Structure formats: C-alpha cells, structure tokens
C-alpha cells in the first residue's frame, strides 16, 4: 500500500459513566489507502460511531494516534466530511442553504460558494429542489442533501455513519447505487459504518468486522467482486454468509478453520 491517507494506530477510547470507566474501543489499528472504500460492520454499541467521531475530530481525547495524510488529527477539518444516520438538516433552511453549511469554514467568495452549492445539488440529482425545505423532501432526498453537505467542501475523505439506516429497502438500494456513482465521479476515500452486511459487501473494497464492546477488529475482509455487484450472485451470497457468521460467532471462533473460505475470491487478514 502507498502511504495511507488514514491511519489508526493503537487507538483506544474510554468514557467515564457514573464514575466507572467504560471501554468503548481497544487497540484499533487500520491503514486506509487513498481512494479506498472501507466499510466497518459490527453490532450496536461496538464503537463504530465513536471511531468516526475520533477520525472527524469531534472528540480529541483518546489513546494512540490517528493521522490523516501523515498529520495527527487535532480537530475538525474540511478534508473530512461526515454524514450521519439522521440527516440532521435544519428545517428552517432550504436545500441550498443546508448544503451551504458545509462551506462555512471555506475561504471562498459568495459567488464561488453559490456555484459550489449548485454543482453539488446537481451531483445528487436535486436541481428541482434547490429552494425546497426539508419537510418537502422524502427520506431519501433528505439523505442526499446530507451527502451533498458532506461533500460540498470537497473533502478527500467521506465518513458515513449508517447513512441509509432509516430508509426503506428500495430507497436504500437506490442510495447505495448513487453513492457508488458519486464516489466514482468524486474519486473520494470513503469510510462507511453500517450494521448491514449486505450493504458493506455491495459497496466496499474492504470490510472491517468489529467485535462487540470493547470494539476491536475481528477480521478485515477484502471484497474482490467486480462492480456492479450482483446481490443475488453466488460469491456475494457466500461472502454474506461468511461475514454474518463472523459477526455472530463467539470470540473463540477460529477464522482459519472453515474449508470453504479457500474457495472464495477474498483474502482474510488476521488481526
């Protein structure tokens, strides 16, 4: 791998809860290459959102090191955009103004900002809704606005925290297709947190499987399937079974044991 754009080194995180220490993340180590699409899957409470919050710089108290382009993360920065599960749009702002919030810290003129906002509204296919308010949008449209807001400052890294979790199955699949298309056009390094194994396999180059709390890496699985991926394909199905097994098996599970793994077009990297 070339020098990674994102590097987690021995990252750990604890919270003080009612005077007790709650260990949320333990010894998390991961390098992510420029342009890579990494999905992090794990059960609720295994520290996925916390990892993204640390990477985006919303929480700077943790053990170990996180670097972006070789520089330690010390706060939020325009090179990292984040999209949350709930779209978090402001109801009193139009689509354009909500997206514009992603530019507040950018050193651009008013005209440049307007152009940028227009470009990103087009990118997510909402040109007819520039002046609409969030309550006039469907869930999928609102989430597309949130994605545009995450992208408008032209970050080099897009962080997505269960961005499609609240959408119905059909909209969810459409959004997954769109995310792939956007990523193709914007050539952006993407980190997606999800509890949906199928979503992870459909989208990612690598899937990081987390252990339950304290969050640790259980497996990193390369997804070698070509795009567009067929959810109904045999390889896809095998990967899904394997990853589901990983997620639900106990800590004593030996990943090298099952024979069928050798037949699959993927690489298991023991962590």
Chain contacts with ligand ADP (rule: CB under 6 A): 15, 17, 22, 24, 42, 44-50, 213
Are 39 and 192 within 8 A, CB to CB? Answer: yes
Of 1 and 17, the one with the shorter C-beta distance to ligand ADP is 17
Shortest Cβ 103–ligand ADP spacing (Å): 27
Inter-residue contact 49 to 84 (CB < 8 Å): no
Of 222-241, which residues contact Mg ion (CB under 5 A)? none
Lookup result for tokens 């053990």: 63
- Residue placing its CB nearer to Mg ion in the complex, 45 or 258: 45
Nearer to ligand ADP among residue 137 and residue 203 (C-beta): 203
Specify the residue, 33 or 220, whose C-beta has the smaller distance to ligand ADP.
Answer: 220
Residue 209 beta carbon to ligand ADP: minimum distance, rounded to whole angstroms? 12
Min CB(57)–ligand ADP separation in Å: 15
Yes or no: say if 223 and 266 are a contact pair by the CB < 8 Å rule.
yes
- The entry of ligand ADP, Mg ion, none near residue 243 (CB within 5 to 8 angstroms by kind) is none
Whether the Cβ atoms of residue 54 and residue 218 lie closer than 8 Å to each other = no
Residue among 11, 18, 6, 26 at smallest CA distance from 218: 26
For Mg ion, the closer CB: 151 or 160: 160
Whichever of 6 and 266 has its CB closer to ligand ADP, that residue is 6
In the list ligand ADP, Mg ion, none, the entry touching 136 (Cβ below 5 to 8 angstroms by class) is none
Least spacing, CB of residue 56 vs Mg ion, in Å: 13
Find the distance separating the first CA and the last CA of the chain, reported in whole Å.
17
Tell me how far apart the alpha carbons of residues 36 and 65 are, in angstroms, rounded to a whole number.
20
Among 6, 11, 49, 149, which residue interacts with Mg ion (rule: CB under 5 A)? 49
d(CA 200, CA 121): 26
Contact (Cβ atoms closer than 8 angstroms) between residue 190 and residue 39: no
CA–CA separation, 244 and 239 (whole Å): 8
Q: Which does 213 bind (CB under 5 to 8 A by kind): Mg ion, ligand ADP, none?
A: ligand ADP
Question: Least Å distance between CB 213 and ligand ADP?
Answer: 5
The token pair at 54 is 């640390």
Structure token digits, residue 206: 């690598």
Q: Does 50 bind Mg ion (CB under 5 A)?
A: no
Q: Which residues of the chain form contacts with Mg ion (CB under 5 A)?
A: 49
């Amino acid at each position: 791998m070339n020098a990674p754009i994102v590097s987690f080194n021995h990252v750990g995180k604890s919270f003080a809860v009612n005077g007790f220490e709650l260990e949320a993340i333990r010894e998390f180590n991961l390098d992510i290459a420029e342009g890579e699409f990494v999905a992090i899957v794990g059960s609720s409470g295994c520290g996925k959102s916390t990892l993204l919050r640390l990477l985006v710089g919303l929480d700077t108290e943790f053990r170990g090191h996180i670097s972006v382009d070789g520089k330690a993360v010390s706060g939020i920065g325009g090179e990292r955009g984040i999209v949350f599960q709930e779209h978090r749009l402001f109801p009193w702002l139009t689509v354009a103004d909500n997206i514009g919030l992603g530019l507040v810290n950018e050193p651009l003129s008013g005209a440049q900002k307007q152009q940028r906002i227009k470009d990103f509204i087009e990118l997510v296919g909402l040109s007819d809704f520039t002046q609409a308010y969030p309550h006039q949008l469907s869930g999928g449209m609102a989430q597309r606005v949130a994605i545009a807001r995450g992208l408008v400052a032209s970050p080099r890294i897009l962080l997505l925290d269960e961005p499609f979790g609240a959408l119905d199955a059909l909209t969810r699949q459409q959004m997954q297709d769109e995310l792939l298309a956007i990523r193709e056009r914007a050539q952006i390094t993407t980190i997606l947190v999800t509890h949906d194994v199928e979503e992870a396999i459909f989208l990612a180059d690598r899937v990081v499987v987390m252990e339950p709390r304290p969050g640790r890496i259980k497996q990193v699985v390369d997804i070698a399937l070509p795009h567009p991926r067929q959810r109904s394909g045999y390889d896809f199905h095998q990967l899904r079974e394997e990853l589901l097994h990983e997620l639900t098996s106990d800590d004593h599970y030996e990943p090298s044991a099952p024979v069928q793994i050798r037949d699959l077009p993927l690489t298991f990297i023991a962590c």
